[in-house]
Amino acid sequence: MFNAAQSDWSSQFSLTGDPDLHWIETIDKHYDRAQIKDLIGRSDPEDFSNDYLIVCCEFGALLGHVLKKLKPRLQWHYEWPYWESDLRDPKTNNIIPPFHWAVKKMSEYGVDDLFWEKVPACVSMLDRKTEV
């Protein structure tokens, strides 16, 4: 899913290099209420490969990649279906659910959250927890 995200969004948004916070910011800013409404409107809930599901999964994979890049000690905990997978911090025992974050972004609940700020805030929180 991460490879698909990297391929899809590098061409759609002219992003280059290894995905980082700039990628998240670009996608975060693109998917505003109007874009998300359009995305939902063109996505058939009966189709497992609908655009909404693809975007949520790709954004979740991207969030997870960048989180792990910023905090390499994070470990993927794989589940089925794969969007139930999460990142776990062995030092703090915190669990970070990037796919759930992505669904929140693509819904009313989190549309206004700034995920390009949330990711470094999460990393900072993990750092503070290990300082104690």
Q: pLDDT tens for residues 98-116?
A: 999 999 999 988 899 999 9
- How far is the C-alpha of 114 from the C-alpha of 119, rounded, in Å? 9
pLDDT per residue as tens digits for the range 68-107 = 999 999 999 999 988 899 999 999 999 999 999 999 999 9
Delimit the domains of the chain by residue range.
2-131
pLDDT given at position 65: 97
Identify the CA nearest to 58 among candidates 14, 106, 16: 106
Q: Is the pLDDT of residue 55 over 70?
A: yes
Q: Taking a C-beta distance cutoff of 8 angstroms, is the pair 36, 108 a contact?
A: no
For position 131, what pLDDT does the model report?
78
pTM of the shown model:
0.94
β-strand 75-77 against 86-88: which pairing, if any?
antiparallel
Q: DSSP state, 83? A: G
